[in-house]
């Protein structure tokens, strides 16, 4: 049985109180090899959360998205699949990175959060991804 604790896959936040967090909560009930997760948006203006299901392929895609961000490209993660999507624009409307969370399927809501990220945030997130994969490797299906 997997006993790993909740782990953050992403924690994008700044000193202004804006944050977007993706947390792995544990095994996905009723689905072998999947993980239950949530996306939490918290700002001084708006707060919300949406459930997210993760598989090894989605975690691999997150790693590829981090590589593209490191190369200076904007990303859209999970944008062609059912459920919420996360977009990261390195140069948003407020002259800083912004994270856009879309939940088109359930709430039909989109939230755009400007976040002044530290210079090492991509390396930090690569480490978070590695920690999630290390903790849950035995549970995740090979695909």
| pLDDT at 2 (0 to 100) | 47
Query: How far is the C-alpha of 136 from the C-alpha of 70, rounded, in Å?
Result: 25
Over residues 3-13, the pLDDT tens digits come to: 567 999 999 99
Over residues 66-117, the pLDDT tens digits come to: 999 999 999 999 987 778 999 999 998 888 999 999 998 888 999 999 999 9
Bridge pairing between strands 7-13 and 85-89: unpaired
Bridge pairing between strands 75-77 and 85-89: antiparallel
| pLDDT at 4 (0 to 100) | 64
Over residues 23-42, the pLDDT tens digits come to: 999 999 988 999 999 999 99
Cα diameter, the chain: 46
pTM of model > 0.85: yes
Domain boundaries along the sequence of the chain: 7-136
| pLDDT at 94 (0 to 100) | 86
Query: How far is the C-alpha of 73 from the C-alpha of 88, rounded, in Å?
Result: 9
In this predicted structure, the answer to whether residue 1 has a pLDDT above a threshold of 50 is: no
| pLDDT at 91 (0 to 100) | 94
C-alpha distances in angstroms, 141 versus 105, 136, 137? 25, 10, 8
CATH class of 7-136: alpha beta
């Amino acid at each position: 049985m997997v006993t790993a604790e909740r782990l953050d896959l992403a924690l994008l936040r700044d000193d202004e109180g804006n944050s977007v967090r993706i947390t792995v909560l544990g095994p996905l009930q009723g689905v072998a090899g999947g993980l239950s997760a949530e996306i939490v948006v918290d700002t001084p203006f708006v707060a919300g959360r949406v459930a997210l299901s993760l598989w090894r392929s989605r975690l691999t895609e997150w790693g590829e998205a981090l590589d593209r961000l490191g190369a200076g490209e904007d990303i859209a993660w999970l944008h062609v699949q059912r459920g919420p999507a996360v977009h990261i624009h390195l140069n948003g409307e407020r002259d800083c990175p912004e994270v856009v969370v879309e939940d088109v399927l359930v709430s039909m809501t989109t939230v755009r959060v400007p976040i002044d990220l530290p210079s090492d945030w991509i390396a930090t997130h690569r480490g978070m991804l590695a920690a999630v994969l290390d903790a849950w490797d035995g549970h995740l299906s090979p695909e």
